[in-house]
Structure 1
């Protein structure tokens, strides 16, 4: 069939393929040779834009747009709702306490139980995602979140509010991991990191919505009606994901999950980074989700409009930090800066910001609170460090294990802050400034301890270097004892004839 055809055409026909694996149609090549009237050498065939390749690229672009609309955006919407639920209590904390008669400890527990349930659900949800896929798991859990939001909206006592908030936490527990799983299943590998960063950024817009936009709604409706709207939106998102997202077969691994997860928890490097990452990121989440608003009201004395404006700025900083970390971290590493060094710099920034708040440094309050928001997006850095520590088949489980500690510490920090603040009596309707300083100070003390634990290998190296610089290198003859000293101490003992050896 190819007899008499030029070599460049035969080369093209062999090398030009559609994405489906089929060869470019024969008449497309004939039309090309007639219209262009060019004879190309072998090796330049890939540059020819035939009708078939144009049709393929157009179909590929359309396919990518459909995936964005049918896969990426529905899961991004689910993560957006999760972030909105996470931070909305900071805005309504005053009204919630007044309507339900809650103290600081009660408010801290109701808000922080969200993180406790998230932490407990991470590993089981990972197993469910591997077995049933993100579409089924996410849609089912979002219905639980919708029911929890409805219960929260109709609750008037502490117990029902606690149960409703716990149901919300369980319902959104898979929002991020299900979205990341869907990205891995449906999109090319080279697009996974970029789309993951976009999903985190779009999800953090929920924190933006929980400030000024939600405050505008609360001028017209009550917080109970707001949660009814959130329940309806969550249920609609669950239905959207179930019917819009296409299904894809999940290949079940035959490896032993408990063994590999055990390897994660037995790795010393994991326990070196985990305390620092958990105490910093978890504390940043707990502060922005709840205690930033009471601090700004009770300590800084901001009115309602100024409070909402500052919370809005913090949420914008959170979104920008998530996008910045996701897009520039690889460039920083390309310049020779390790991800561990970036994590250390972020931890130092966070501790310095908290100390500035505790010591009432003469700075605009938006500066340290913006640093708190930046650290809330530092999970991108921690996951990058984990990717350096573990092989690809263990990275997912290691990230899940680290997330358990993130959410667990967020629960402890948020609840403990409420317990500590409740130990001081209110002054003129506001919590004591000293109570906040003690609560934040204990948190900083734990973070400094985690920082020292993380930096121990560096401190040992620095100590060894200083000792060498001050006293000179250690001589081998001084470091090793002469063997003949021991030989002189050895005395031969006569052996008996019937001795057993």
Structure 2
């Protein structure tokens, strides 16, 4: 098979859809692995480069800074050139960034390489979601989204204990050569199986030409309704899962580095099962009226409650508390494909990328912001545990405010 052909309805045949999904999933696995690896490597990077909490937060957040910087041009390129061409160009950039990271001799070099890696993998979810918007039926699209995130959890799982086990054998620098090789293999798979892209031209029978600018996305009430939740709640989930759960276990709960890596392994294994479950039940939920907006409305208060308990418990909060927090936040993942479905297919790339920009801008702000707040509270005289609690308390307040805004906005065009 060299290219996949869509059927007469525009949807891919089931077997072809599975092969295309697996090719994209391989790239997203690599993206998630390189995204989360800083949590496991934080002890060795902190020691080798004398990093403070704000430096660690900025280093992890640099990935998301590069990621977010590419989202607006990415959306336009996806709509114009299609997922296949765009993701291959971007993944080539991530290979360069990974190799550069392995050669770093200073924090500035580390940070710059991390930003380049983030830019390079920024199409790994948006490209397939843009394709799925055209190639899959709505229920299958929701399932594919959840299972893409399950693949991400598998990548994050690989970034924990497997990385910890490999470290004595390879050192952290060689790990990034291995990562670059895995990304190249995923590029070969995508080039082989993903179908070509034809620009969608709306039929005259549809009436008024659909909007085609980012301004139309930003003015959309449903997009506006979901934006603060994407920034703080969803961005905070990724920030905790990919970084701050690790330092919390080390510096608040008193875990050893191996225990922390094991805890991260359990957290990501929990999220893998969670997203697999969402993929299984989503078609049933859609048939019974449980659309994404309704699920988010019920899920976010639970995540806020779990976060408050974790903060209050302090040193008693270990991997299980953060696993429960991440699980309770997972309903937010359903908002992403819902935003894509709220727009015409010709605008799906822009809508999805604009929403992703909000998410990963939030990840960057929350990751770095928590580090800045921890250092600031310690400078003000608070103990280390109290500083972590105070910093996460500020994050909690932001999550509560974003949910209040979500409830206040009435959006008539939410997908049902």
TM-score of the aligned structures, taking structure 1 as reference length: 0.71
C-alpha displacement of 1:115: 1.1
Alignment partners' CA distance in 1, 2:278 and 2:34: 23
Contact between 1:298 and 1:431, CA under 8 Å: does it hold in 2?
A: no
Alignment partners' CA distance in 1, 2:337 and 2:114: 31
Contact between 1:280 and 1:375, CA under 8 Å: does it hold in 2?
A: no
Contact between 2:252 and 2:315, CA under 8 Å: does it hold in 1?
A: no
- Counterpart of 1:113 in 2: which secondary structure? helix
C-alpha distance after superposition, 1:143-200 (max 9, x if no partner): 1101101111110211111110011001100011222344456667774443343333
Q: Name the stretch that deviates more: 110-119 or 403-412.
A: 110-119
Alignment partners' CA distance in 1, 2:290 and 2:88: 41
Alignment partners' CA distance in 2, 1:194 and 1:86: 23
Contact between 1:281 and 1:378, CA under 8 Å: does it hold in 2?
A: no
C-alpha distance after superposition, 1:302-349 (max 9, x if no partner): 123321221111101111222222332343354454533321232112
Q: Number of residue pairs matched?
A: 395
- Counterpart of 1:175 in structure 2 is 124
C-alpha displacement of 1:351: 1.3
- Counterpart of 1:148 in structure 2 is 97
Contact between 1:318 and 1:376, CA under 8 Å: does it hold in 2?
A: no
- Which structure 1 segments of 5+ residues have no match? 1-18, 22-60, 459-501
C-alpha distance after superposition, 1:267-311 (max 9, x if no partner): 333222211232111001011111111110110001233212211
2:228 equivalent to 1:275? yes
- Counterpart of 2:196 in structure 1 is 248
C-alpha distance after superposition, 1:32-88 (max 9, x if no partner): xxxxxxxxxxxxxxxxxxxxxxxxxxxxx9x8546644x332211101001111111
Alignment partners' CA distance in 1, 2:135 and 2:290: 32
Alignment partners' CA distance in 2, 1:267 and 1:344: 19
2:167 equivalent to 1:226? no
Q: Name the stretch that deviates more: 72-81 or 134-143.
A: 134-143
Alignment partners' CA distance in 2, 1:388 and 1:228: 38
- Which structure 2 segments of 5+ residues have no match? 1-5, 203-207, 411-416
- Counterpart of 1:175 in 2: which secondary structure? coil
Quick one: which of 403, 412, 416 aligns to 1:451? 403
- Counterpart of 2:217 in structure 1 is 264
Flag the structure with more relative contact order, 1 or 2, with Cα contacts below 8 A and sequence separation at least 6. Answer: 2
Alignment partners' CA distance in 2, 1:323 and 1:219: 32
TM-score of the aligned structures, taking structure 2 as reference length: 0.85
- Counterpart of 1:450 in 2: which secondary structure? helix
Contact between 1:208 and 1:315, CA under 8 Å: does it hold in 2?
A: yes
Q: Name the stretch that deviates more: 295-304 or 348-357.
A: 348-357
Contact between 2:252 and 2:314, CA under 8 Å: does it hold in 1?
A: no
- Counterpart of 2:149 in structure 1 is 200
Q: Name the stretch that deviates more: 153-162 or 112-121.
A: 112-121
- Counterpart of 1:465 in structure 2 is none
Alignment partners' CA distance in 1, 2:406 and 2:139: 32
Cα distance change of structure 1 residues 143 and 337 upon mapping to structure 2, 3 Å threshold: closer
Alignment partners' CA distance in 2, 1:67 and 1:388: 19
Alignment partners' CA distance in 2, 1:415 and 1:213: 26
2:380 equivalent to 1:432? no
C-alpha distance after superposition, 1:453-473 (max 9, x if no partner): 222369xxxxxxxxxxxxxxx
Alignment partners' CA distance in 2, 1:233 and 1:362: 38
Q: Name the stretch that deviates more: 331-340 or 251-260.
A: 251-260
Alignment partners' CA distance in 2, 1:394 and 1:352: 36
* Aligned Cα root-mean-square deviation (Å): 3.1
Alignment partners' CA distance in 1, 2:141 and 2:96: 32
- Counterpart of 1:408 in structure 2 is 361
- Counterpart of 2:29 in structure 1 is 80
Larger radius of gyration: 1
C-alpha displacement of 1:411: 0.5
Alignment partners' CA distance in 2, 1:259 and 1:204: 33
